[in-house]
Amino acid sequence: MFLRFLYNILINIAWLVLKVIALFNAKIKLFVQGRKRTFPLLEEKLNPGDKTIWMHVASLGEFEQGLPILERLRSKYPEHKLVLSFFSPSGYEVKKNTSVADVVVYLPMDSHHKVKRFLNIVNPQLAIFVKYEVWPNYLYQLKKRNIPTILVSAIFTERQIYFKSYGGFMRQSLGKFDHYFVQNEKSKNLLESIRIKNSSIGGDTRLDRVSEILKRNNQLDFMDRFKNNQLCLVAGSTWPEDEKILVNYINKTTEKVKFVIAPHEIKPSHIDKITSSLEKTVFRYSELGSQNLKEVDVLIIDTIGLLTKIYSYANMAYVGGGFATGLHNTMEPAVFGIPIIIGPQFGGFKEAEDLVNEGGIIPISSQNSFDNLMGDLLNNPISIKNIGDINANYINTNKGASELIMKYISKIL
């Protein structure tokens, strides 16, 4: 009881501090201001008699994990309203207009008063939390109200507070879920080590999400014109550390390869810097019309929303973030059955760890290792196919988490 009291004091202090920081920080301002609209939005979109299902995600990555479940819920339970909450502005601001949910909001802070108000309005028949999200007051109230609550695509490591001697309060909160769908056996074993036995190994729902990409129309006219049946390397979500290596290689290679660079940062000043550093023929997506792209060597994608389809044209992919900021999504290119190159920092990304071990994802640590790897791949087309097959098979073998979760949900609703 004392720890819960202390936790509530700390949450309220944190909220006050964030409101002060919001005066000087644009992202925190979104975090604070966006939460002022949560309750009005809920009251506008929901009626007291509505049957609802609530899913909470932290940010964009967790949204992608929750999306296959939301889509199946929409199809199977059309009479229910779906409420989707985000913790982070980087997720909410991108997906606030998604049609997959009836109402999309920022999650109110985990204070006693805000939690009760949120649950009084939403009154879900089921609550779904994705991956890491464990909020003590929400879980306490959900349990108190006998609202079934599950954690999906969860992954646990020994470093987390639940498995430390001083983690009793958070361990108690974690224990309030009705069921846990974890990504691997290690996570299940860790839960059992703290006497949580109601878990199932379901894998990562993102694999269901990316496997569905193959069923869509991924054709892009400008990519047809640009690739022109040549080998193509697509570098997605790149950061300056990645771009330096890519640009150095592009400038000096004599191989007949087309290159697409889709930077994480698409501000004009950053795009200008990449473009000016290239010594080959380069075009930006924003400049494209009906130009003849056959002789263009490099295409810079200075917009968002196209990368997944562009990966379908790649013979090889480079996924950025592995040198500094955190590795980006490797599963989107993997589904197309192509080799994937990443930077050296991929620990904690289960799918990347798995595929590095299997040989489908190849980490590089320097300019020299990237140059050598590209030489090996380009001189051995058969190895490109064999390495790519590893990635495609991994997704095909490990998909199905969403159906396992839906079978459980069907017993509740």
The dihedrals phi and psi of 120, each to the nearest 5 degrees, come to -65, -35
Question: What gap in Å lies between CA 257 and CA 274, rounded to an integer?
Answer: 18
Q: Give the count of alpha carbons within 13 A of 211, CB side only.
A: 18
Cα gap 385→360, rounded to integer Å: 10
For residue 341, give the H/E element and its range.
Answer: strand 340-342
Look up residue 12 and give its amino acid: N
User: 158: which 2 tokens?
Assistant: 């020994």
Catalytic, out of 62, 133, 243, 332:
62
Q: Catalytic residue at 358?
A: no
Beta-carbon contacts of 193 under 8 Å, excluding residues fewer than 6 positions away, are: 163
80: Cα within 13 Å, side-chain hemisphere: 24
81: closest CA among 45, 56, 110, 109? 45
The gap from C-alpha 413 to its chain's centroid, in whole angstroms, comes to 27
What residues are labeled active site?
Answer: 62
